[in-house]
Amino acid sequence: MSLKKQAIAGVKWTFVQQFSVQIINFSVQIVLARLLMPEMFGLIAMVVIFISIGQALMDGGMTSSLIRTNNPDQLDYSTVFITNIIMSLVVYGVVFIAAPYIALFYNQEILTNIIRILSLTFVIRALVAVHMAKLTKEMNFKLQMKLQIPSTILASAVGITMAYKGYGVWSLVWLNLVQAISFTVQTLLFMTWRPLLIFNFEKFKYHFNFGYKLTLASLIDVIFNDAYRIIIGKFYSPTTVGFFHQAETLRLFPVQQISAVVGKVTYPLFAKMSDDLVLKEAYKITMKLVLALVVPLMLALIFIAEDGFRFLFGDKWLPAVPYFQILALASIVRPLSEYNLNILKVKGRSDIFLKIEILKKTIGIVFIVLGFNFGVMGLVISLTVFSFISYLINMFFSGALISYTMIEQIKDSFFFYLLGILVYILLFLIKGEIGFDLIFFNIIFYMVLFFLIYFAILYLFERDLFKMVKNIRKN
Protein backbone atom coordinates (compact mmCIF):
# COMPACT_ATOMS: atom_id res chain seq x y z
CA MET A 1 0.00 0.00 0.00
CA SER A 2 1.32 3.47 -0.91
CA LEU A 3 2.18 6.02 1.76
CA LYS A 4 -0.74 8.18 0.65
CA LYS A 5 -3.24 5.33 0.95
CA GLN A 6 -1.79 4.32 4.31
CA ALA A 7 -2.28 7.85 5.57
CA ILE A 8 -5.88 8.04 4.37
CA ALA A 9 -6.72 4.61 5.80
CA GLY A 10 -4.96 5.51 9.03
CA VAL A 11 -6.93 8.71 9.45
CA LYS A 12 -10.19 6.94 8.65
CA TRP A 13 -9.83 4.05 11.09
CA THR A 14 -8.27 6.14 13.84
CA PHE A 15 -11.08 8.64 13.52
CA VAL A 16 -13.73 5.91 13.63
CA GLN A 17 -12.06 4.39 16.69
CA GLN A 18 -11.75 7.68 18.53
CA PHE A 19 -15.22 8.88 17.58
CA SER A 20 -16.93 5.64 18.57
CA VAL A 21 -15.04 5.15 21.82
CA GLN A 22 -15.31 8.73 22.95
CA ILE A 23 -19.00 9.05 22.10
CA ILE A 24 -19.54 6.04 24.36
CA ASN A 25 -17.30 7.53 27.05
CA PHE A 26 -19.00 10.91 26.80
CA SER A 27 -22.45 9.35 27.10
CA VAL A 28 -21.29 7.41 30.14
CA GLN A 29 -19.87 10.59 31.69
CA ILE A 30 -23.25 12.27 31.30
CA VAL A 31 -25.02 9.38 33.04
CA LEU A 32 -22.43 9.15 35.83
CA ALA A 33 -22.42 12.92 36.37
CA ARG A 34 -26.16 12.76 37.00
CA LEU A 35 -25.90 9.70 39.28
CA LEU A 36 -22.83 10.79 41.28
CA MET A 37 -21.95 13.94 43.17
CA PRO A 38 -19.04 16.21 42.07
CA GLU A 39 -16.89 15.15 45.03
CA MET A 40 -16.82 11.56 43.68
CA PHE A 41 -15.10 12.81 40.53
CA GLY A 42 -12.88 14.98 42.72
CA LEU A 43 -11.54 11.94 44.59
CA ILE A 44 -10.58 10.27 41.31
CA ALA A 45 -9.00 13.50 40.08
CA MET A 46 -6.73 13.55 43.13
CA VAL A 47 -5.08 10.26 42.15
CA VAL A 48 -5.02 10.64 38.36
CA ILE A 49 -1.39 11.79 38.51
CA PHE A 50 -0.18 8.46 39.89
CA ILE A 51 -1.88 6.52 37.10
CA SER A 52 -0.47 8.93 34.54
CA ILE A 53 3.05 8.60 35.94
CA GLY A 54 2.83 4.81 35.79
CA GLN A 55 1.58 4.97 32.21
CA ALA A 56 4.38 7.38 31.20
CA LEU A 57 7.09 5.20 32.73
CA MET A 58 5.61 2.09 31.17
CA ASP A 59 5.33 3.19 27.53
CA GLY A 60 6.41 6.81 27.16
CA GLY A 61 9.70 6.38 25.31
CA MET A 62 10.74 2.89 24.26
CA THR A 63 7.53 2.09 22.40
CA SER A 64 7.95 5.38 20.52
CA SER A 65 11.45 4.23 19.63
CA LEU A 66 10.01 1.02 18.16
CA ILE A 67 7.67 3.04 15.92
CA ARG A 68 10.45 5.20 14.49
CA THR A 69 12.90 2.29 14.06
CA ASN A 70 13.29 0.94 10.54
CA ASN A 71 12.39 -2.75 10.37
CA PRO A 72 12.44 -3.67 14.09
CA ASP A 73 12.70 -7.41 14.64
CA GLN A 74 11.49 -9.86 17.27
CA LEU A 75 14.48 -9.07 19.45
CA ASP A 76 13.55 -5.37 19.47
CA TYR A 77 9.93 -6.00 20.38
CA SER A 78 10.65 -8.66 23.01
CA THR A 79 13.34 -6.58 24.73
CA VAL A 80 11.01 -3.59 25.05
CA PHE A 81 8.17 -5.88 26.19
CA ILE A 82 10.21 -7.33 29.07
CA THR A 83 11.45 -3.86 30.04
CA ASN A 84 7.89 -2.53 30.15
CA ILE A 85 6.65 -5.37 32.35
CA ILE A 86 9.50 -5.00 34.86
CA MET A 87 9.10 -1.23 34.97
CA SER A 88 5.33 -1.39 35.51
CA LEU A 89 5.70 -3.84 38.42
CA VAL A 90 8.39 -1.73 40.08
CA VAL A 91 6.32 1.45 39.75
CA TYR A 92 3.20 -0.30 41.04
CA GLY A 93 5.13 -1.50 44.09
CA VAL A 94 6.24 2.06 44.86
CA VAL A 95 2.70 3.41 44.42
CA PHE A 96 1.24 0.62 46.57
CA ILE A 97 3.59 1.47 49.46
CA ALA A 98 3.08 5.23 49.04
CA ALA A 99 -0.75 5.04 48.92
CA PRO A 100 -1.40 5.62 52.67
CA TYR A 101 0.90 8.64 52.68
CA ILE A 102 -0.84 10.10 49.64
CA ALA A 103 -4.20 9.65 51.37
CA LEU A 104 -2.77 11.39 54.45
CA PHE A 105 -1.55 14.30 52.30
CA TYR A 106 -5.09 14.89 51.02
CA ASN A 107 -6.67 13.94 54.37
CA GLN A 108 -8.89 11.43 52.53
CA GLU A 109 -8.47 7.91 53.97
CA ILE A 110 -10.49 6.27 51.19
CA LEU A 111 -7.77 7.18 48.67
CA THR A 112 -5.47 4.41 49.93
CA ASN A 113 -7.54 1.60 48.43
CA ILE A 114 -8.56 3.66 45.41
CA ILE A 115 -4.93 4.23 44.46
CA ARG A 116 -3.91 0.61 45.00
CA ILE A 117 -6.70 -0.77 42.86
CA LEU A 118 -6.76 1.91 40.15
CA SER A 119 -2.98 1.71 39.69
CA LEU A 120 -3.36 -1.88 38.50
CA THR A 121 -4.52 -0.44 35.16
CA PHE A 122 -1.04 0.55 33.99
CA VAL A 123 0.38 -2.85 34.98
CA ILE A 124 -2.36 -4.58 32.98
CA ARG A 125 -1.84 -2.30 29.96
CA ALA A 126 1.92 -2.95 30.07
CA LEU A 127 1.15 -6.47 28.82
CA VAL A 128 0.02 -5.08 25.46
CA ALA A 129 1.90 -1.78 25.09
CA VAL A 130 4.33 -3.30 22.61
CA HIS A 131 1.45 -4.95 20.73
CA MET A 132 -0.08 -1.49 20.24
CA ALA A 133 3.25 -0.05 19.15
CA LYS A 134 3.55 -2.82 16.54
CA LEU A 135 0.06 -2.11 15.20
CA THR A 136 0.81 1.62 15.06
CA LYS A 137 4.13 0.95 13.30
CA GLU A 138 2.21 -1.05 10.70
CA MET A 139 -0.51 1.65 10.63
CA ASN A 140 -3.07 -1.06 11.41
CA PHE A 141 -5.60 1.19 13.12
CA LYS A 142 -8.57 -0.91 12.02
CA LEU A 143 -7.66 -3.75 14.41
CA GLN A 144 -7.02 -1.25 17.21
CA MET A 145 -10.55 0.03 16.72
CA LYS A 146 -12.01 -3.49 16.87
CA LEU A 147 -10.21 -4.12 20.16
CA GLN A 148 -11.08 -0.81 21.77
CA ILE A 149 -14.83 -0.53 21.21
CA PRO A 150 -16.02 -3.78 22.90
CA SER A 151 -13.87 -3.12 25.99
CA THR A 152 -15.28 0.41 26.24
CA ILE A 153 -18.87 -0.85 26.03
CA LEU A 154 -18.32 -3.55 28.67
CA ALA A 155 -16.58 -1.15 31.09
CA SER A 156 -19.31 1.45 30.60
CA ALA A 157 -22.01 -1.06 31.47
CA VAL A 158 -20.15 -2.05 34.65
CA GLY A 159 -19.58 1.58 35.70
CA ILE A 160 -23.17 2.68 35.17
CA THR A 161 -24.60 -0.40 36.90
CA MET A 162 -22.39 0.12 39.95
CA ALA A 163 -23.24 3.84 40.12
CA TYR A 164 -26.96 3.08 39.88
CA LYS A 165 -26.65 0.56 42.73
CA GLY A 166 -24.97 3.12 44.97
CA TYR A 167 -21.29 2.17 44.83
CA GLY A 168 -20.27 5.82 44.46
CA VAL A 169 -16.63 6.47 43.62
CA TRP A 170 -15.95 2.73 43.19
CA SER A 171 -18.07 2.73 40.04
CA LEU A 172 -15.47 5.05 38.49
CA VAL A 173 -12.59 2.89 39.74
CA TRP A 174 -14.00 -0.34 38.34
CA LEU A 175 -15.00 1.29 35.06
CA ASN A 176 -11.31 2.02 34.41
CA LEU A 177 -10.11 -1.35 35.67
CA VAL A 178 -12.60 -3.40 33.63
CA GLN A 179 -11.72 -1.44 30.51
CA ALA A 180 -8.00 -2.15 30.95
CA ILE A 181 -8.59 -5.86 31.62
CA SER A 182 -11.00 -6.31 28.72
CA PHE A 183 -8.76 -4.49 26.23
CA THR A 184 -5.69 -6.46 27.28
CA VAL A 185 -7.44 -9.84 27.11
CA GLN A 186 -8.83 -9.11 23.65
CA THR A 187 -5.45 -7.95 22.37
CA LEU A 188 -3.73 -11.10 23.60
CA LEU A 189 -6.45 -13.28 22.08
CA PHE A 190 -6.76 -11.67 18.65
CA MET A 191 -3.23 -10.52 17.84
CA THR A 192 -1.07 -13.20 16.27
CA TRP A 193 2.24 -11.67 17.38
CA ARG A 194 3.72 -13.04 20.60
CA PRO A 195 6.76 -11.74 22.50
CA LEU A 196 9.58 -14.12 23.34
CA LEU A 197 11.29 -14.28 26.71
CA ILE A 198 14.51 -12.90 25.28
CA PHE A 199 16.39 -9.78 26.22
CA ASN A 200 19.20 -8.13 24.31
CA PHE A 201 21.24 -5.47 26.08
CA GLU A 202 22.33 -3.78 22.83
CA LYS A 203 18.70 -3.47 21.70
CA PHE A 204 17.75 -2.18 25.14
CA LYS A 205 20.54 0.38 25.01
CA TYR A 206 19.48 1.57 21.53
CA HIS A 207 15.80 2.05 22.44
CA PHE A 208 16.56 3.36 25.93
CA ASN A 209 18.95 6.04 24.63
CA PHE A 210 16.18 7.44 22.46
CA GLY A 211 13.27 6.65 24.75
CA TYR A 212 14.47 7.79 28.18
CA LYS A 213 14.45 11.43 27.08
CA LEU A 214 10.87 11.11 25.89
CA THR A 215 9.96 9.35 29.13
CA LEU A 216 11.49 12.10 31.24
CA ALA A 217 9.74 14.71 29.11
CA SER A 218 6.46 12.83 29.50
CA LEU A 219 6.93 12.62 33.28
CA ILE A 220 7.61 16.33 33.51
CA ASP A 221 4.50 17.01 31.44
CA VAL A 222 2.31 14.67 33.51
CA ILE A 223 3.48 16.02 36.86
CA PHE A 224 3.06 19.61 35.75
CA ASN A 225 -0.40 19.11 34.23
CA ASP A 226 -1.66 17.29 37.30
CA ALA A 227 -0.05 19.80 39.67
CA TYR A 228 -3.20 21.87 39.31
CA ARG A 229 -5.34 19.00 40.58
CA ILE A 230 -2.89 18.36 43.42
CA ILE A 231 -2.93 21.99 44.55
CA ILE A 232 -6.71 22.31 44.30
CA GLY A 233 -7.15 18.95 46.04
CA LYS A 234 -4.84 19.97 48.88
CA PHE A 235 -6.19 23.45 49.54
CA TYR A 236 -9.82 23.14 48.46
CA SER A 237 -12.66 20.63 48.86
CA PRO A 238 -13.15 17.46 46.76
CA THR A 239 -16.22 19.18 45.27
CA THR A 240 -14.07 22.03 43.91
CA VAL A 241 -11.63 19.48 42.50
CA GLY A 242 -14.61 17.76 40.90
CA PHE A 243 -15.71 20.97 39.17
CA PHE A 244 -12.19 21.64 37.89
CA HIS A 245 -11.72 18.01 36.82
CA GLN A 246 -15.03 17.94 34.94
CA ALA A 247 -14.24 21.23 33.17
CA GLU A 248 -10.77 19.96 32.27
CA THR A 249 -12.12 16.60 31.07
CA LEU A 250 -14.84 18.16 28.94
CA ARG A 251 -12.64 20.81 27.35
CA LEU A 252 -10.16 18.06 26.41
CA PHE A 253 -12.84 15.66 25.17
CA PRO A 254 -13.25 16.99 21.59
CA VAL A 255 -9.60 17.91 21.00
CA GLN A 256 -8.26 14.65 22.42
CA GLN A 257 -10.02 12.85 19.61
CA ILE A 258 -8.42 15.13 17.05
CA SER A 259 -5.05 14.98 18.84
CA ALA A 260 -5.22 11.18 18.91
CA VAL A 261 -5.94 10.98 15.18
CA VAL A 262 -3.35 13.60 14.26
CA GLY A 263 -0.68 12.32 16.63
CA LYS A 264 -1.21 8.62 16.00
CA VAL A 265 -1.23 8.92 12.22
CA THR A 266 1.32 11.71 11.64
CA TYR A 267 4.03 10.10 13.78
CA PRO A 268 4.46 6.89 11.72
CA LEU A 269 3.59 8.82 8.55
CA PHE A 270 6.14 11.60 9.09
CA ALA A 271 8.70 8.97 10.07
CA LYS A 272 8.51 7.62 6.51
CA MET A 273 9.23 11.04 4.93
CA SER A 274 12.94 11.60 4.35
CA ASP A 275 12.67 14.86 2.37
CA ASP A 276 12.33 17.98 4.54
CA LEU A 277 10.40 19.87 1.84
CA VAL A 278 7.82 17.08 1.65
CA LEU A 279 7.64 16.97 5.45
CA LYS A 280 7.18 20.75 5.63
CA GLU A 281 4.30 20.64 3.14
CA ALA A 282 2.62 17.77 5.01
CA TYR A 283 3.11 19.68 8.25
CA LYS A 284 1.55 22.85 6.78
CA ILE A 285 -1.46 21.03 5.32
CA THR A 286 -2.10 19.18 8.59
CA MET A 287 -1.94 22.43 10.56
CA LYS A 288 -4.53 24.12 8.36
CA LEU A 289 -6.88 21.14 8.41
CA VAL A 290 -6.68 20.91 12.20
CA LEU A 291 -7.29 24.64 12.67
CA ALA A 292 -10.25 24.63 10.30
CA LEU A 293 -11.92 22.06 12.53
CA VAL A 294 -10.74 22.96 16.03
CA VAL A 295 -11.22 26.73 16.01
CA PRO A 296 -14.98 26.77 15.24
CA LEU A 297 -15.59 23.68 17.36
CA MET A 298 -14.06 25.02 20.57
CA LEU A 299 -15.38 28.58 20.17
CA ALA A 300 -18.89 27.23 19.52
CA LEU A 301 -18.66 25.07 22.66
CA ILE A 302 -17.55 28.09 24.70
CA PHE A 303 -20.52 29.99 23.33
CA ILE A 304 -23.11 27.40 24.39
CA ALA A 305 -21.29 26.20 27.53
CA GLU A 306 -23.83 27.26 30.17
CA ASP A 307 -26.79 25.76 28.31
CA GLY A 308 -24.73 22.68 27.54
CA PHE A 309 -23.77 21.98 31.17
CA ARG A 310 -27.32 22.58 32.38
CA PHE A 311 -28.81 20.29 29.73
CA LEU A 312 -26.29 17.44 30.02
CA PHE A 313 -25.32 17.38 33.70
CA GLY A 314 -27.86 19.44 35.61
CA ASP A 315 -27.62 22.64 37.63
CA LYS A 316 -25.30 21.10 40.25
CA TRP A 317 -22.44 21.30 37.71
CA LEU A 318 -22.89 24.96 36.70
CA PRO A 319 -19.95 26.20 38.86
CA ALA A 320 -17.70 24.33 36.41
CA VAL A 321 -18.84 26.45 33.43
CA PRO A 322 -16.41 29.40 33.85
CA TYR A 323 -13.51 26.98 34.27
CA PHE A 324 -14.54 25.18 31.09
CA GLN A 325 -14.89 28.35 29.02
CA ILE A 326 -11.42 29.61 29.90
CA LEU A 327 -9.69 26.23 29.60
CA ALA A 328 -11.39 25.58 26.24
CA LEU A 329 -9.38 28.42 24.73
CA ALA A 330 -6.22 26.43 25.43
CA SER A 331 -7.73 23.40 23.72
CA ILE A 332 -7.63 25.20 20.38
CA VAL A 333 -3.85 24.79 20.14
CA ARG A 334 -3.55 21.39 21.85
CA PRO A 335 -3.77 19.18 18.71
CA LEU A 336 -1.23 21.39 16.96
CA SER A 337 1.21 21.06 19.86
CA GLU A 338 0.78 17.30 19.63
CA TYR A 339 1.93 17.00 16.07
CA ASN A 340 4.54 19.75 16.42
CA LEU A 341 6.29 17.44 18.85
CA ASN A 342 6.03 14.54 16.39
CA ILE A 343 8.49 16.41 14.16
CA LEU A 344 11.08 16.26 16.92
CA LYS A 345 10.44 12.55 17.41
CA VAL A 346 10.74 11.55 13.75
CA LYS A 347 13.91 13.61 13.45
CA GLY A 348 15.34 11.62 16.35
CA ARG A 349 15.76 14.76 18.45
CA SER A 350 14.50 13.43 21.75
CA ASP A 351 17.25 15.56 23.32
CA ILE A 352 15.52 18.75 22.12
CA PHE A 353 12.18 17.25 23.14
CA LEU A 354 13.40 16.89 26.72
CA LYS A 355 15.08 20.31 26.83
CA ILE A 356 12.00 22.20 25.69
CA GLU A 357 9.83 20.30 28.19
CA ILE A 358 12.17 21.45 30.96
CA LEU A 359 12.07 25.00 29.58
CA LYS A 360 8.28 25.05 29.31
CA LYS A 361 7.64 23.59 32.73
CA THR A 362 10.09 26.00 34.37
CA ILE A 363 8.01 28.82 32.89
CA GLY A 364 4.87 26.95 33.92
CA ILE A 365 5.90 26.82 37.58
CA VAL A 366 6.06 30.61 37.57
CA PHE A 367 2.51 30.71 36.21
CA ILE A 368 1.29 28.28 38.89
CA VAL A 369 2.76 30.44 41.65
CA LEU A 370 1.20 33.58 40.18
CA GLY A 371 -2.17 31.89 39.62
CA PHE A 372 -2.32 30.37 43.10
CA ASN A 373 -2.45 33.86 44.63
CA PHE A 374 -5.80 34.41 42.89
CA GLY A 375 -7.57 31.18 43.84
CA VAL A 376 -8.90 28.45 41.55
CA MET A 377 -9.84 30.91 38.81
CA GLY A 378 -6.31 32.30 38.89
CA LEU A 379 -4.94 28.78 38.39
CA VAL A 380 -7.34 28.18 35.49
CA ILE A 381 -6.27 31.39 33.74
CA SER A 382 -2.58 30.68 34.33
CA LEU A 383 -2.95 27.19 32.81
CA THR A 384 -4.63 28.65 29.71
CA VAL A 385 -2.01 31.35 29.14
CA PHE A 386 0.78 28.84 29.68
CA SER A 387 -0.74 26.50 27.06
CA PHE A 388 -0.39 29.18 24.39
CA ILE A 389 3.21 29.90 25.42
CA SER A 390 3.98 26.16 25.20
CA TYR A 391 2.49 26.04 21.71
CA LEU A 392 4.73 28.89 20.54
CA ILE A 393 7.80 27.14 21.96
CA ASN A 394 6.89 23.84 20.28
CA MET A 395 6.23 25.70 17.05
CA PHE A 396 9.62 27.41 17.12
CA PHE A 397 11.74 24.31 17.70
CA SER A 398 9.86 21.87 15.45
CA GLY A 399 9.59 24.43 12.64
CA ALA A 400 13.34 25.09 12.78
CA LEU A 401 14.05 21.44 11.89
CA ILE A 402 12.08 21.65 8.62
CA SER A 403 12.72 25.33 7.73
CA TYR A 404 9.17 26.38 8.58
CA THR A 405 9.71 29.37 10.84
CA MET A 406 7.40 30.41 13.66
CA ILE A 407 6.55 33.64 11.79
CA GLU A 408 5.52 31.63 8.71
CA GLN A 409 3.36 29.33 10.83
CA ILE A 410 1.65 32.25 12.57
CA LYS A 411 0.93 33.89 9.21
CA ASP A 412 -0.53 30.65 7.82
CA SER A 413 -2.76 30.15 10.88
CA PHE A 414 -3.75 33.74 11.74
CA PHE A 415 -6.82 33.90 9.50
CA PHE A 416 -8.38 30.81 11.12
CA TYR A 417 -8.20 32.42 14.57
CA LEU A 418 -9.39 35.83 13.36
CA LEU A 419 -12.38 34.34 11.57
CA GLY A 420 -13.39 32.36 14.66
CA ILE A 421 -13.27 35.45 16.87
CA LEU A 422 -15.35 37.48 14.41
CA VAL A 423 -18.03 34.77 14.16
CA TYR A 424 -18.13 34.52 17.97
CA ILE A 425 -18.65 38.28 18.30
CA LEU A 426 -21.38 38.24 15.66
CA LEU A 427 -23.35 35.50 17.40
CA PHE A 428 -22.84 37.15 20.79
CA LEU A 429 -24.45 40.32 19.44
CA ILE A 430 -27.52 38.52 18.09
CA LYS A 431 -27.93 36.00 20.94
CA GLY A 432 -30.42 38.19 22.80
CA GLU A 433 -32.54 38.60 19.67
CA ILE A 434 -32.73 34.97 18.54
CA GLY A 435 -33.37 32.01 20.80
CA PHE A 436 -35.62 29.14 21.79
CA ASP A 437 -37.45 28.28 24.99
CA LEU A 438 -36.01 24.77 25.01
CA ILE A 439 -32.30 24.59 25.89
CA PHE A 440 -31.68 21.71 23.50
CA PHE A 441 -32.82 23.70 20.46
CA ASN A 442 -30.72 26.68 21.55
CA ILE A 443 -27.62 24.48 21.71
CA ILE A 444 -28.19 22.88 18.30
CA PHE A 445 -29.16 26.18 16.64
CA TYR A 446 -26.06 28.10 17.71
CA MET A 447 -23.66 25.22 17.12
CA VAL A 448 -24.94 24.73 13.57
CA LEU A 449 -25.07 28.48 12.90
CA PHE A 450 -21.50 28.94 14.12
CA PHE A 451 -20.19 26.24 11.77
CA LEU A 452 -22.27 27.42 8.79
CA ILE A 453 -21.04 31.02 9.02
CA TYR A 454 -17.44 29.98 9.73
CA PHE A 455 -17.14 27.52 6.84
CA ALA A 456 -19.03 29.75 4.40
CA ILE A 457 -16.53 32.56 4.94
CA LEU A 458 -13.58 30.14 5.08
CA TYR A 459 -14.60 28.76 1.67
CA LEU A 460 -14.27 32.23 0.14
CA PHE A 461 -10.68 32.64 1.32
CA GLU A 462 -9.32 29.07 1.56
CA ARG A 463 -10.79 27.25 -1.43
CA ASP A 464 -7.63 25.22 -1.95
CA LEU A 465 -8.17 23.65 1.47
CA PHE A 466 -11.65 22.48 0.50
CA LYS A 467 -10.35 21.15 -2.83
CA MET A 468 -7.71 19.16 -0.97
CA VAL A 469 -10.30 17.63 1.37
CA LYS A 470 -12.42 16.75 -1.65
CA ASN A 471 -9.46 15.01 -3.30
CA ILE A 472 -8.70 13.08 -0.12
CA ARG A 473 -12.31 11.87 0.03
CA LYS A 474 -12.13 10.77 -3.61
CA ASN A 475 -8.99 8.76 -2.93
**In this predicted model, what pLDDT tens digit does every residue of 212-248 receive, in sequence order?**
777 787 778 778 877 888 888 888 888 888 888 888 8
What are the E-state strand segments in 344-387?
A: none
Which pLDDT belongs to residue 328?
A: 92
Over range 303-319, report the average pLDDT. Answer: 90
210 versus 372: the higher-pLDDT residue is 372
Which pLDDT belongs to residue 473?
A: 61
Shared domain check, 188 and 262: no
- How far the first Cα of the chain sits from its last, in Å, is 13
Is residue 262 predicted with pLDDT exceeding 80? no
| Closest to 75 measured CA to CA, from 195, 210, 211, 193 | 195
Shared domain check, 241 and 179: no
Shared domain check, 466 and 318: yes
Shared domain check, 222 and 318: no
Shared domain check, 206 and 327: no
Is residue 149 predicted with pLDDT exceeding 60? yes
Q: Look at residues 167, 201, 229 and tell me which one is the last residue of a structural domain.
A: 229
Which pLDDT belongs to residue 304?
A: 92
Of the chain, the percentage scoring pLDDT greater than 90 comes to 20
Shared domain check, 333 and 215: no
Shared domain check, 211 and 253: no
CB 61 within 8 A of CB 231: no
Give the pTM: 0.73
Shared domain check, 215 and 240: no
Is residue 430 predicted with pLDDT exceeding 80? yes
Shared domain check, 345 and 455: yes
Shared domain check, 282 and 202: no
Range of the domain at 94: 1-229
**Alpha helical stretches, state H, 60-168:** 62-68, 74-106, 111-118, 120-126, 129-137, 141-164
- Amino acid identity, position 312: L
Which pLDDT belongs to residue 384?
A: 92
Shared domain check, 347 and 240: yes
∠ CA 54-384-15, nearest 5°, is: 60
Which pLDDT belongs to residue 211?
A: 74
As a whole number of angstroms, the distance between CA 227 and CA 46 comes to 10
- What's the domain count of the chain? 2
Q: Look at residues 165, 199, 229 and tell me which one is the last residue of a structural domain.
A: 229
Q: Look at residues 206, 229, 252 and tell me which one is the last residue of a structural domain.
A: 229
Read off the pLDDT of residues 387-421 as tens digits, 9 standing for 90 and up.
899 889 888 888 888 888 888 888 888 999 999 99
Shared domain check, 244 and 219: no
For the ranges 95-109, 264-278, 367-381, which has the lowest average pLDDT?
264-278
